[in-house]
Amino acid sequence: MVADVAFDAPIAHPFSYRVPDGLTVVRGQRVLAALRGASRIGVVVDVRSDAGEKLKPILRAVEPAPLLDASTLDLVGWIAADSATSFGSTCLTLMPPPTLAPIPRSGAVAGDRDVSPPELLIGAGREARLIERIAGAGTTTLVLSADVDGAARWAQRLGKLGHVVRLDSGVTDAERSQAWRALAAGEAALAVGTRSALLAPLPAGATVALIDEHEAAHKPPGAPRMHTRDIALERARREHLRALLSSATPSVEMWWHCDSGRVRLDGPPPAPWPAVSVADTRGIAKREALTPALARAIRETLTARRRVFLGVSRLASILGCDECGVILKCESCAIALAYSPAGRTLTCRLCGTAVPLMNVCPACRGRRLAPFGWGAERVEHAVRRRFVSARIARFDPEATRGAKAEAQRKAALSADVVIGTRGALRLFGPASLGLAGFVSPDQLLGLPDFRATERAFGLLWAAAERVGPDGQVIIQSQNPGHYALDAVTRQDLAAFYKPELKFRAELGYPPFRRLAIITVAARGGPESARLADAVTAALAGKPRLTVYPATPDRRNRARRIVVKGHADLPRVLAEALEGADTVGAARSRGIMDVEVDPVEWPS
Ligand SMILES: [Zn+2]
Ligand SMILES: [Zn+2]
């Protein structure tokens, strides 16, 4: 017998091995085999009757039985195809750590009964409602969290309903394998994990719950290169599972699913909301970090002995007008132009258009165009100068690691004023703040990414949820009439999604079109440029595809090509790229990378 084995490698085809006498392997089983001089774990994708005398033998089976059944392998095939990623990489990253103990094959068969459509829980108390649903369903439930900390928290919360097994890397490999085994044997009813648990065996009629659907952490770099939400929804559809999702500010894609009736929206009437106001900073933003309104609110909150959160963000490489608040944008893509002081140019990261730096604002003819915003350090300085006796801490968990991050976290927990980035908000529970102030969220609204507005909106909303109903949210902005700010002020999600979906439709962005970023990183800039030309040539003339000119990365080593297409984008890309020799070879050498439906735009 000969077995075809796929590996975690950027290679589309599997490798053939002889199955030695005395060993039986089947499709979906993990095996150990030699690949390029090393023994590696692969997954059997086919077994054929053939002597295979000249082939190398399989060394051994990793488990005595396959972990994935035929329908799960089909799902993996769909994920791989729709994300233009190899089957082996997709499959192996979705399997639990290898274990020597036997794992029974999942006895689950896809149920054929009607299941209610997926539901999205929003608004106050959404997590409590989710737990009620899980308790009320009485079926096996798998809860998927964006990260390991979240998984630990959910394991604890669900603990009051019964025994919870964990499938994430926050527990030992042995515990994870045991959890997978317990689910397969029908011995566990409550399981918690991250996206690595997406294929865990579940019986028919089970529930899959996805926490914080909008979190970018649901699509980290690497295989499986698809958003956890999309895999969970597809699995639920195929296996007739019940899907529950929760989010404070759903992704625009998800809201669109709700609009079109594919997902049911579960939102209670509005709960108490803090007073949200927008402070206009046009004309004063460059001189003073705090508007009089924000300074006054800080003083009042400190007097009342309540905590202040000041949201800051890293300085954006964009140019704005200090007089009228306009941010310089690409005319055809409507996203902010990236500013490069060295090159004295403004460049669109999507279509590659470059324009020379201008001296005069195109909107108001004012002469105060400048790099945008306030850094955390300058904000801290401004606050210290005005509030001498307050305990002030800065917390930037995205940029600090290890002991320093832990020290910052401790200081923040006992501070009166916390100056922090997005991740710092996680320190605070619902309604625990007296004031949340945003010094210059326009920096976020104007990032050179079509998702910038969605992100900024999510951050402002998350902050408002953490402020008590008797507290305040103050948003300083050069664009005080922006619909994202208006929606937060009015506690009205639809007031954000409606204009945002209109913008996406008009400009041809997701969910109405699909995007992919092809990155080629050869040994040097010239070689990358040559390869990028070959990719562009391979894609040229493909129907329903828009291919933008290749642009260099910051260090001028790699080249990026943005491609816009329709629902069939992954198939069109795969056909075009596999058909071209140089490109195919580059792909299998790992110097070419295709990211379909990117969530984070590379800087
Ligand atoms: Zn202007
Ligand atoms: Zn553009």
Query: The CATH number of the domain where 206 resides is what?
Result: 3.40.50.300
* Ligand at shortest distance from the CA of 327: 1
Distance 333 CA to ligand 2 centre (A): 4
With bands split at pLDDT 50, 70 and 90, how would you rate the model's confidence at 112?
low
Residue 600 banded pLDDT, cuts 50, 70, 90: confident
pLDDT at 105 over 60: no
Taking each helix axis from N to C end, the angle separating 525-539 and 569-579, rounded to the nearest 10 degrees, works out to: 120
pLDDT tens-digit series, residues 229-254: 999 999 999 999 999 999 999 999 99
Same domain, 261 and 280: no
Per residue, the 3-state secondary structure of 88-108, as one string, reads HHHHHHCCCCCCCCCCCCCCC
28 and 149 co-located in one domain: no
In one letter, which amino acid is 63?
A: E
Give residue 323 CA to ligand 1 midpoint distance, Å: 5
Give 498 Cα–ligand 2 centroid separation in angstroms.
23
pLDDT in tens, 540-573: 888 889 999 998 887 788 999 999 999 999 999 9
The Cα–Cα gap between 129 and 150 comes to 17
- pLDDT the model gives residue 338: 83
Residues 58-77 have pLDDT tens digits of 999 998 889 898 999 999 99
Across residues 441-447, what is the average pLDDT? 79
Share of the chain above pLDDT 90, in %: 67
The reply to whether 65 and 177 lie within a common domain is: no
Q: Is residue 602 part of a domain?
A: no
Distance (angstroms) between ligand 1 centre and the Cα of 327 equals: 8
In the predicted model, is pLDDT for residue 602 greater than 80? Answer: no
Are 85 and 224 spatial neighbours (Cβ–Cβ below 8 Å)?
Answer: yes
pLDDT at res. 102: 55
Average pLDDT over residues 109-123: 78
Q: What pLDDT, on a 0 to 100 scale, did the predictor assign at position 355?
A: 87
Look up the CATH number of the domain holding residue 84. 3.40.1440.60
Least confident range from 113-127, 265-279, 472-486, 508-522: namely 113-127
How far, in Å, CA of 307 to CA of 313, rounded? 20
CA 506 – ligand 1 centroid, Å: 25
How many whole angstroms from 546 Cα to the centroid of ligand 1? 33
- CA of 201 from ligand 1 middle (Å) equals 58
Same structural domain, 158 and 260? yes
Ligand nearest to the CA of 351: 2
Ligand nearest to the CA of 350: 2
SS3 579: helix
Q: What is the C-alpha radius of gyration for the chain, rounded to an integer number of angstroms?
A: 26
103 within a domain of the structure (yes/no): no
Q: How far is CA 365 from the centre of its chain?
A: 39
Residue 319 is assigned to a structural domain of this protein: yes
Q: Please report the pLDDT score of residue 162 as a whole number.
A: 95
Same domain as 294, residue 232: no
- Distance from the alpha carbon of residue 285 to the mean position of ligand 1, in angstroms: 13
Q: For residue range 150-167, list pLDDT tens digits in order.
A: 999 999 999 999 999 999
CA of 495 to the centre of ligand 1 (A): 26
| 243 lies in the same domain as 293 | no
Interval between CA 482 and ligand 1 midpoint (Å) = 16
Q: What's the average model confidence in pLDDT over 398-427?
A: 90
CB contact set of 394 (below 8 Å; sequence gap of 6+) = 376, 377, 380, 408, 412, 418, 419, 420
> Do residues 465 and 534 both lie within one domain?
no
Distance 254 CA to ligand 1 centre (A): 35
426 shares its domain with 471: yes
Q: How far is the CA of 500 from the centre of ligand 2 (A)?
A: 18
Domain boundary among 229, 249, 266: 266
Confidence of residue 316 (pLDDT cuts 50, 70, 90): low
Its domain, for residue 155, covers 119-266
Residue 77, both tokens: 């095939």
What is the average pLDDT across 393-410? Answer: 88
What pLDDT was estimated at residue 315?
A: 67
What is the three-class DSSP state of 420? strand
What letter would DSSP give residue 423?
G
Q: Is 99 inside a domain boundary?
A: no
At residue 103, the pLDDT reads 57
Q: Are strands 551-552 and 559-565 parallel, antiparallel or unpaired?
A: antiparallel
- The verdict on 495 and 408 lying in the same domain is yes
Number of the ligand closest to the Cα of 549: 2
585 or 383, which is more confident? 383
Give SS3 for 264. Answer: strand
Q: How far is the CA of 294 from the centre of ligand 1 (A)?
A: 24
Q: Which residue has the tokens 């033998």?
A: 57
Specify if 243 maps to a domain: yes
CA of 244 to the centre of ligand 1 (A): 46
Which of 280-284, 298-302, 477-481, 541-545 is least confident? 280-284
Closest listed ligand to the CA of 353? 2
Q: 475 CA distance to ligand 2 centroid (A)? A: 29
Say which CATH number the domain at 526 has.
3.30.70.100
Please tell me the distance from the alpha carbon of residue 547 to that of residue 550, in angstroms, as a whole number.
Answer: 9
Mean pLDDT for 397-421 is 90
CB atoms within 10 A of CB 575: 12
pLDDT of residue 578 exceeding 60: yes
How many angstroms does the Cα of residue 283 sit away from the middle of ligand 2? Answer: 28
The answer as to whether 108 is a domain residue is no
Residues 402 and 499 in one domain: yes
The Å distance, Cα 328 to ligand 1 centre, comes to 10
Residue with tokens 């079509």: 450
CA of 522 to the centre of ligand 2 (A): 25
| Ligand of minimum distance to the alpha carbon of 365 | 1
52 within some domain: yes
Reported confidence tier of residue 214, pLDDT bands at 50, 70, 90 = very high
Q: Which ligand is nearest to the CA of 338?
A: 2
Ligand nearest to the CA of 335: 2
Distance CA 574, CA 344 (A): 38
Mean pLDDT of 520-528: 89
* Percent of the chain whose pLDDT exceeds 70: 96
- For the cut 90, the answer to whether the pLDDT of residue 286 exceeds it is no
| Under 8 Å between Cβ of 399 and 424 | no
Q: What is the pLDDT, as a whole number, of residue 402?
A: 85
325, 453: one domain: yes
Point out the ligand nearest to the CA of residue 370: 1
Distance CA 236, CA 371 (A): 47
Mean pLDDT of 469-485: 94
At 252, list the tokens.
């625009």
- Distance of CA 226 from the midpoint of ligand 2 (Å): 25
C-alpha neighbours within 13 Å on the C-beta side of residue 139 = 17
Is pLDDT above 70 for 485? yes
The CA 340 to ligand 2 mean position distance, Å, reads 16
Which two three-digit tokens encode residue 3? 């077995």
Measured between alpha carbons, how far is residue 478 from residues 101, 435, 439, 450, 481 in Å?
61, 20, 11, 19, 9
Q: How much is the pLDDT for 571?
A: 93
Domain boundary among 207, 239, 266: 266
| Cα(316) to centroid(ligand 2), Å | 17
Instruction: Give the pLDDT band (50/70/90) at residue 396.
Output: confident
**Boundary of a domain, candidates 242, 266, 290:** 266
All residues at 6 or more sequence positions from 43 whose CB lies less than 8 Å from its CB, including other chains: 5, 6, 28, 29, 30, 31, 68, 88, 91, 92, 95
pLDDT tens digit string along 5-59? 999 988 878 999 999 999 999 999 999 999 988 999 999 999 999 888 899 999 9
Q: CA angle 63-173-144, nearest 5°? A: 100
Statement to judge: residues 381 and 457 lie in one domain? yes
Per the structure, the count of domains in the chain is 4
Residue among 329, 327, 310, 448 at smallest CA distance from 386: 310
Ligand 1 centroid vs 365 CA: distance in angstroms?
6
pLDDT of residue 222: 87
Q: How many A from CA of 40 to the centre of ligand 1?
A: 60
CA of residue 368 to ligand 1 center, whole Å: 8
Give the model's pLDDT for residue 89: 94
Judge whether 463 lies within some domain. Answer: yes
Per-residue DSSP letter, 602: P
Position 456: which residue type? Answer: A
The average confidence (pLDDT) of the chain is 90
CA of 344 to the centre of ligand 1 (A): 19
Lookup: tokens for 254: 């998800």
